[in-house]
Amino acid sequence: MISGTISLVIVAVIIIAKGLATQYSQDSMLIPVYYPDLRLEYVNASTLDNLIETNGIMKFKRNTGWVTLGVDPVRSGKRVRTSLRGTYKSMARTMHDIFQ
């Protein structure tokens, strides 16, 4: 019984660590953007979200190529970032459902 509990704790820690690594690695990536004055700059994902919302840029580069605002489709609204608490609560619900 105790070894099963320890295994679940280890799995939970791994899941949380992977979630946090993904969350923080997305913000550390720099994305090239062109401003309306044709100035090129590299910004993080949070700044890109704000620039898209305010139409502060002309285009930005995805891994599939350049996206021009007003021409190419872009996501609407800001991305939802999962907090550590949200990750833990989701994981706890999943584990509860599995062992019911």
d(CA 98, CA 100): 6
* 23: pLDDT strictly greater than 70: no
Question: How confident is the model at residue 96, as a pLDDT?
Answer: 65
Taking only the tens place, the pLDDT of each residue in 53-70 is 999 999 999 989 999 998
Contacts of 38 by beta carbon, 8 Å cutoff, 6+ apart = 58
Q: 89: domain range?
A: 2-98
pTM of the predicted protein model: 0.50
41 three-state secondary structure = strand
* 75: pLDDT strictly greater than 80: no
* 30: pLDDT strictly greater than 90: yes
Q: How many domains does the chain have?
A: 1
Percentage of the chain lying above the pLDDT 90 cut = 35
Q: Give the strand pairing for 65-68 and 40-43.
A: unpaired
One-letter amino acid for residue 40 of the chain = L
Taking only the tens place, the pLDDT of each residue in 77-90 is 555 555 556 666 66
Choose from 18-32, 46-60, 72-86 the range with maximum mean pLDDT: 46-60
Question: How confident is the model at residue 8, as a pLDDT?
Answer: 75
* C-alpha triplet 28, 30, 31: angle, nearest 5°: 140
d(CA 75, CA 91): 27
